[in-house]
Chain A
């Protein structure tokens, strides 16, 4: 293991620490990761307004990350956006976008999904496990390739909240 990416716990720890120290803002940039934590509202650049803004004493967090490239899957990459929700992989396995080879994918960018919509299949040792969206909204981005190995928690789709 060479590089460590930040995960949620790290971010929460950072927020706690900054809050205790009463710092105004924090900015970190490293390859593949950019994080800004600020005490003030709406200082973030791209993430847009937060739907439920916490009180002034709690810092807000925005991060932006490039999409994970298909050959470097990582469970740590959860891109946070205030209006979008991520559909994560519920298990380790191989992701299939369509019910069988040659058929149309279950969903494409722009499609509306509901909580029950099947968005893909994860194959685990020859067992096909359908993946339900578990959220409703419009598909903004597809974050995995057909046939790609995925891990638990790996982002599969970005959905615009409805």
Chain B
């Protein structure tokens, strides 16, 4: 297939001139044709909601690994085009993550399966229903699904168990929260979820938990954290964030005290932390004295002693005002230690309220149980709902082999993937935006899922398939969810998107001494003691990708091209290692290396990333997809091939060798230092307090010869606080969805032709061993004296009286002078027609209020001018002035931390205005006199002082 960016086929000079001449004269003729009449197809019925060209919004939920986030989806003329957070939903508070933004593209995925397929028999849910009708007591019936908390699914499970008493249900996800619940079970005897309140803490400790960008509550967590964290003045207290992790993540970059630590060392550090806290006289209540003494004697690991001691000191100094959490991939005993620390310091009930988990059967059967049963011939019928175990299961389980032993296998999935190929039946699943359903948020709130469009390719939902087994004849998804509810409560809940007051109640769960807990602490102490001996073993650490999760989002091009927060890597994954480790192994970035662990191997390009722990190699999961990967098929290497039941998500004993080959990585940023200039300002809190005006020379008026082009009100502007920006990149995808930004593919990124209007620049300061990063979201700065404007020969870029730097595409002739004259490098050029050949289905998802650009045209951030003008029109029609907060840009709306604020300069009292008057405000490249309308706030860190 030819691709934009390929060199043209061979042409000789004469042929070329002939074609040029012919093209020119034909192009001239084109102007003489009268445009043929378009059709107008009005609706036939009169619906009060449907007005042509007016958006309609519905509250629904998106679910990942069983946890719902409330969203509001906007549909225009019947087509869903944009997803925003649901401000009332406790897991969203109005913000979204990158993958939620990308769900729109998933809906219009051309590779989505259209047809049911069966090895034998009739392929449809209807025929399945007929087969199952009247049958009871099916033996050896198993179901496999992602973790789920849906009340509807729970009800259907009951019905299925009544009808088929031997039915078994397995809920499994590659990196699920099983270890979290097991940890709580060790301490209290029952599975518990800690509901974290980041806004109520002064000290946060993250042990390998990327809470700001990953995990089931990250959107809410990030917002709570940022609200507590943001500094309004030098006298404020930003709290202190401690992070221990093997590779820099969004959370690690926010940290004040970051320890680059191998994943295997995180557990020993947790034990040492608990030991240091016990030594400070704070013992977990209910824990017997002998165990506490055993813990108190654990010394801090020498490499991270300062970090552990500082964290213990801060936590112990603020009982009830601390918060600690461990990553999902850490083993149960680490979570038990975290639970004990929380108990010792009075976190439970304040910053970590304990509730029952919102998932069904959180510590139930595992995939390994299913595989064992299948091997033993104890599974006759297996129904797989939306999971892809052939790709995601540990390599030593051989799920494909086990599936071959099962006589009847039914797979329900959006795309026909690796698992479908191993199953007898395949049924297309409806996309969440086409489905009725429900789910529970992390805090237990029952959230409703309602469709915005009829299934584009047919397809059924998980509950509809389960209903066939439950013997519920021809039930629609809506009836299953409604379950007899009617009247105003149901319609109110539906309008709201969730059922208020359904959050899980807090439970009192004192520590219950048990043999298992004693054993776990013994094991923990032993691991901590022997940690020194294994200090130099090279480890492999696997984690879901920040972009494509565990591979189930690999078909979404926006996420493949999303620069990963720190590495800026697109279209693939890499073996991340620290500079020192890379030097020891003799490899450099782009070298293809062979990774071997426990007799299994994969090949992946190396990426030398400062901030990675020495002797740790990180690989993002979710790449190297086979069938069902869509555009992500065959891209990158699959980390699951190194994951075994014994080694888990991380394990020492990795060997790395160079293959001698090179595989260039497509990164959107390759230089991370500021080249001696001050671009992204940062300071420690002490320096900021001593010199609050340290950004003074980066703001204020500068003389100019250029005329003032702006008049009247409103004057639009933006302020971005880099202190709370985690780099999670939700804004980047939101911008792409709102503004019809095309994809350029891996080769396009390698040629530096990416089209993102909003990028997140990351600058690295500090030392190579302990780098400090600053994220700086960079978009058109809407300079008052814009250098791009006065070099445009066609007046295609101009200044509006309300302070916008406008881009008029149909005037642009593509000289690219503007881009060359832009000091911020925010203008993007359409080198090819990236949009013309897009499948018709993908075109349905475009925002009709933004022009789709063709080849040879420059484009850039417009401050979401379509939203500004829509709000202005609304105000004009109501004969009033525009109100504060009425215009929200796509990036601002998506941002989980609220780091981006937009508004009009005359609206005093808005955060946007208040922030830019703060002393740490600055303009990027202020000395050039461009007077950017976008201002930034310098990043302030609060490192622990010695002996503070």
Q: Do A and B bind each other?
A: no
